[in-house]
Every structure is written in structure tokens, then in C-alpha cells.
Structure 1
């Protein structure tokens, strides 16, 4: 065997045990997830104890603990110290942290990924607004109108304005009755909020902020999907100005 081949073989050899260990740990995590499904455990239900998992899976206690910590990071289980381990809510928080980190890295480069994150959020809201105009009822419209009134009172006033802006969008898409979709939209909001502190400020007048959101509301109230999508696009123009400045 020539020197390059011997070197490559040596490198592969040094990585194989680590690869096998990682694969074994992933296998334990998968078996724990399957156990949750097989036993039909719901969010908040107690998980089997560490001792039970050791016996059931036939692995070491350390391996079980490592797997549970990894699953906790994903929101699949919740470890309550002193009380036990429970089935988690499977929240999208880890996804938020990942997108925030990618966005922060992007701001130190060409900001391409930051634009991609924004494109994804805009595509999601544009698609949802079409469904919303077809299905929103008068009660939901009244609640969105109330959130618009709050925004008109607080727009441009720092944290109060941000909270009112977020509440307006939350209320709109809550009307669709899709909790997972609402969670995903909140992820994108959290990402932008966390990154906004590192973006240059762009002046937006109270009147401009209110006008953009009023346009969205009036288009939805009129059941005009095309107009609503155009209003959403104008809303994102302000965010793009901050990214591009």
C-alpha cells in the first residue's frame, strides 16, 4: 500500500469507532422515541425510569442518560430534576436557535441566508393569507380589528410597538386553527426579533406602520386574496430595507 493510501486508511480507522458510537447513540434515541409511540404516551406523561429503560433497551445507564439529554434538547422529553422525565411538547425552540445562529453568521458575510430566511417567512405568510381570506369569520375579524387598534396606539414605540405588531399577526393566523403553523410563524418572528438588535435601524413612521397593517386587515376583511398578498409584500419591504442597509 502506498503512503497516501496508508494515510487515508489510518484516518478512516481513527474515525470509525466515533462513527459507530454516534450511530449506536442515535439508535438508542430512536428506540426511546418508538417506545413513546408504542405506549401512546402524550405530552406531560411520565416516561419510564432510567432503570426501566436500561432493562428494556439492554444498554448502560450512561447511554440512556446521554440519549435522554439529546432528546430533551429536541423537546421530545422534559427532564425535571428531582421529579423524573416526562414526554415533552416537541416545541420548535431548537429550530429557532438554529435559525438565529445561521442568521447571525449570515450578517457577518453576504447576508444571503438572512434573505433566505425572510423569503421563507414571506412565502409562508403569502400562502396562508390566501387561505385566511376564504375562511375567516366575523368573530375572528373583530379580534384582528382589536389587535389593529392596539397597533395604532403603540406603533413605533419600541417594545410596546413590537408586541402589538406580533399580536396582530398572531391573531390573524390563529383564525386558521392550525397550531403547528402558528408555532412556525412565531419561530420566524422570534428569529427576526433576536436578530433585529444587530441590524441597522431604519426609520418607519407611525403612519407608515399603521398604513401597512391596515391595508392587510382591509384586504382580508374584503376577502380579496390578491390585495392581501400585495399588502403582505409591502410589509416585508420594510424588513428587507433593514437587511440590505
Structure 2
């Protein structure tokens, strides 16, 4: 099922909604469609993966509890081939589930029942970041061997590029803008948080772990993204011991 957007001045956003509750999926799709977004529905994890392989979407809304391949498995599979923003949607409220969702590659985590207006705000926020519309400063950031390009949300170390999700880029950008300084989790959250997002302390640990896997030669002995025990995290300027 696919709903094409009516003529609108709103941004053209292509959404893949993977939700097995057909009534909720239809209501959500209708709400987004009426606000100018194009929505494609999938009701199983396997169907969602197939749709994502056939078409390039701006964002994927992914239910956690799906028949067959659940949301965690689908998210992990998507991340092996795409950096499309993913918002995981679930009624499970335990922090462990949210951490696992982020570890599987999700950019955001939305609890059911949710406000359609909040969902739309989160979609727009993630798509703006993915399109590089995250602020007026689009110049390169260079910190030692690390180079960040805010206009494309890309990064490289010693000229070797690596992919980032939008949330990973935001965390790394905050640390790069304060290179050589130790930032607490609360300071990092304060720098990247918006009213459209629900964040929590352990999410920073998850993203730092994933960043180290991508940018460090030895993630178990990081030379760039360092932990200061009991305080927080610091991005080395290159000359830091």
C-alpha cells in the first residue's frame, strides 16, 4: 500500500512505515500523508527489508515487535547496507530495550502510544539532519586526523571515510567542537537535545561505543575518543597524551 502526497509546500519526505498493527499503521500513514509526506507501508520485518531494498527512503519508522524478523533484527540488517535514519517505535518502556534499539543502529526511539504531532516533529528533525540541514555552520571541522563535514554528515580519519548515523554525527560534532575538553554525558545531551527527541544518559555510551568501532584503529584502546572515568568523554586534539 502506498499513499502519494498531495501538492504541498511542505518538504517531500519519503517514509517507510514497518508496523504490524494494521489499524495503527493506516492511521499513522493517513496523518503523515495529509501533511505532505509519502508513506509506504510494510507489515512484517521481511516485507520492510524488501521495500527498503527496492526504494530509497528518507526515513524508516520501525516497530520493535514484528512477526518473524523483529525490529532489532531488521534494524541491524538495514544498518549493514544503509545509513537511512531509523526511528524505532515500541510499547516496551524498559531502558534496556531502548539501549538495545540504539545498539542495533536506530537513531531515535519513540514510545507508544505516541502523539502524531511528536512523531512528525521527530521525522522532520531526523530528515533535516540526514540532509545536512542541522545549522548555519557547514564548514569542515578538522581535529587532528579527524575531519567532519556537516553539510553531508560524513567523517574521515587520516583520509579514510566512515559512515555515521545522524545521531552519531551529532555526538561526534559536539565532541569535536570542544576537542581537548572533557564533556559529561549531561553536557553532550544538552548540546544535541531538542524538544522533538527523547534522550537518556546511557544513549551517549551506546553512541560512543559505536563511534569507536568505526573510527579507532583499536576500539579497545582508543586514541581519539577517550573516556575520563567518573567524568565523561573527550575527543583528543592530536597532541593529547
Q: TM-score, normalised by structure 2?
A: 0.23
Larger Rg: 1
Question: TM-score, length-normalised on structure 1?
Answer: 0.23
Which protein has greater RCO, CA pairs closer than 8 Å, 6+ apart?
1
Flag the structure with higher strand content. Answer: 2
